[in-house]
Structure 1
Amino acid sequence: MKENISVSKAINRGQLMINLPVFISMLGVPGLALFLSNKGIIPSWGIGIGFLIGILLAWLIWSFLITKWKVWAFENVRNVHELKRKAIRDKLIWPDDSIFNKTEIWSFSDKEKWNRLQRKFNNEDVLKEDQSIPPKTEIFYSKFNFIEMAIMLVAAGFGVYLIINDQLVYGVIATVLGGYLAYKEYLQATNSEVQIYIDSKGMRTINTDFKSWSEIRDEQVIFRQSGKHRRAYLSYEFDHGFEELLIDNYNTTPKKLESLMQTYKARYKKSKRF
């Protein structure tokens, strides 16, 4: 057991090893059925059968390959807690309580290895420090909101154009909605208040008072689906409460924010050892 594979490398390998064959199956089988139907080799209702076979085959492929990846990844990665959290976040594996886990196909030897690997979860992850990160970090709203504001103003202007050309209903909707969203983006772009503050002692947000790293638990960036949009949130627990803050419009990225939290917490633990 070398444990020399990074979490990101293990996740990337999983995406190629599992999601690519699943994607090919879901598109390839129906595509083949459509081709055969157009050639008159199978009846048109065979296309529907092709879609069904494609889905079932894709699920069978996932059920078999996911167990192979889990044994390899959790055997070769040191930070198994981080790996599990990010694999769930990236929809590579399901949460523990998901019924879909029951469809995994395990060989006897892989199941034995997996049971032995569970002991690794008794150890805390090793936090890595990024030396390029400054002693403290302040995160604000992104100035990119000015660009979004300009887009909304164009939409409002188009609404005025529709009103002038007797498209009253659509014009009013576009003008009011565009104007409201432009004003909202303006407020965020001109907001100079610190939204998230992090250093080697702890962290605070616009909603939550400063908490020491000794109080903070399970800090991570999570993603939630909202319609067609995937939104990123800073999430962590602390004594007598928790925080979940939308970070989509901030001047940071989910990956950068996770690196910041890992580095500052590593520095905090290092300071306590001396």
Structure 2
Amino acid sequence: MNTTYTVAQAIKKGRLLIPFTSLAIWLTSIFAGIFIGAALHQVPLGLLGFPVGTLIAFAYWQYATVSWKIWAYENVRNIHELKSDALKYHLIWADSSFMQKLEIKTPSQKERLKQLERKFQQPDVFHVDLSVRDKTEIYKAKATPYIITVFALFLIGIVIRELLYNPYPDKPYLHFVITLPFAIFLLYRAYKEFRTKGPHIILSNEGITLRDTALIAWQQITSTQIKHIGRGKQMLVVNYNKTHTGTEINNLDKNALEIEQLIKVYKARFEKSRQSRF
């Protein structure tokens, strides 16, 4: 049986195959309905693209989930870690859940899944990845403050043009009241980004260091997790010594999946070194 793919590679493929492709199918169906409705001058027909697209995308999601699960269980060694991450990224449904019962699978796929689930009887194996350095420093993405600055200057340009060429000088300047303060806020944010020196997160064989916190040693850490805190924001949470701390991980030079994988590497190194001492 081939086990040539890592958990990270399988998750990346699953995200492309399931949610991203389902979204593409849904949007394509909606636009196709609008186009057909406009071509035939039938507005109600065009509106059918939304419910029809939703059904097609959902059916594809339920089928693709099964296909990806079989492929991943066949090709990934650490099946426990795989299942945990797949649930986290919504690639599979929880066992015995209502959504799992709606999965579309053939009798042969059901039989194959039963066979592959025997792999859960063996523990995961973690190898020390020697390609990862003893310490990884993760910084804020360098391009972010420049993009913010350019956008803020663009808004200020709009305000200046409004002040110079407003044909209704007796009316209040909406841009001056709303746009200018927002642009100044963006410039202040970019200034803070430029002033920020040093790494945002340090991952090492010794533990995790978040910005403005001391080193948290691996023997103190009970768990780590990446939480979605709304509006596209993500946070790395470190639980240790019956407390926790965290930091936002948006706009860093490594994404959430890369950070998770690095944490697993350093945690595995620590566990192996601790076992070798006994």
If the length of structure 2 is used for normalisation, what is the TM-score? 0.75
Q: Deviations over 1:110-163 (max 9, x none)?
A: 445445645545655433444343322343444434414522541463365134
1:214 partner amino acid: Q
- List aligned pairs for 1:1-274, cutoff 5 A: 1-15=1-15, 17-18=17-18, 22-23=22-23, 25-27=25-27, 29=29, 33=33, 37=37, 40=40, 44-94=43-93, 99-111=98-110, 113-115=112-114, 117-118=116-117, 120-121=119-120, 125-151=124-150, 153-155=152-154, 157-158=156-157, 160-161=159-160, 162-163=162-163, 165=166, 166=169, 168-192=173-197, 194-206=199-211, 209-226=214-231, 230-274=232-276
**Partners of 1:20 and 1:14 in 2: how far apart?**
9
Partners of 1:156 and 1:179 within 8 A in 2:
no
**Partners of 1:35 and 1:71 in 2: how far apart?**
37
Q: Which moved more, 1:47-56 or 1:106-115?
A: 106-115
Shift of 1:64: 2.7
**Partners of 2:251 and 2:263 in 1: how far apart?**
18
| Structure 1: gaps of 5 or more residues | none
**Partners of 2:31 and 2:158 in 1: how far apart?**
42
Shift of 1:243: 3.4
Indicate the RMSD between aligned Cα atoms, in angstroms. Answer: 3.6
What is the aligned-residue identity percentage? 29
Shift of 1:272: 1.8
| Structure 2: gaps of 5 or more residues | none
Q: How many residues were matched structurally?
A: 270
Shift of 1:246: 0.5
Partners of 1:196 and 1:206 within 8 A in 2:
yes
Q: Which moved more, 1:176-185 or 1:216-225?
A: 216-225
Sort the Cα spacing of 1:132 and 1:78 in 2 relative to 1 into closer, same or farther, 3 A.
closer
Secondary structure of the 2:63 match is helix
Q: Deviations over 1:159-214 (max 9, x none)?
A: 65134555623113222121122112212321235532322121132365433223
2:240 partner amino acid: F
**Partners of 1:138 and 1:111 in 2: how far apart?**
45
**Partners of 1:96 and 1:209 in 2: how far apart?**
39
**Partners of 1:194 and 1:17 in 2: how far apart?**
34
**Partners of 1:207 and 1:215 in 2: how far apart?**
18
If the length of structure 1 is used for normalisation, what is the TM-score? 0.76
Q: Deviations over 1:60-113 (max 9, x none)?
A: 232233223213312321123443344345443345697533422344554454
Q: Which moved more, 1:24-33 or 1:246-255?
A: 24-33
Secondary structure of the 1:51 match is helix
Q: Which moved more, 1:198-207 or 1:105-114?
A: 105-114
Secondary structure of the 2:14 match is helix
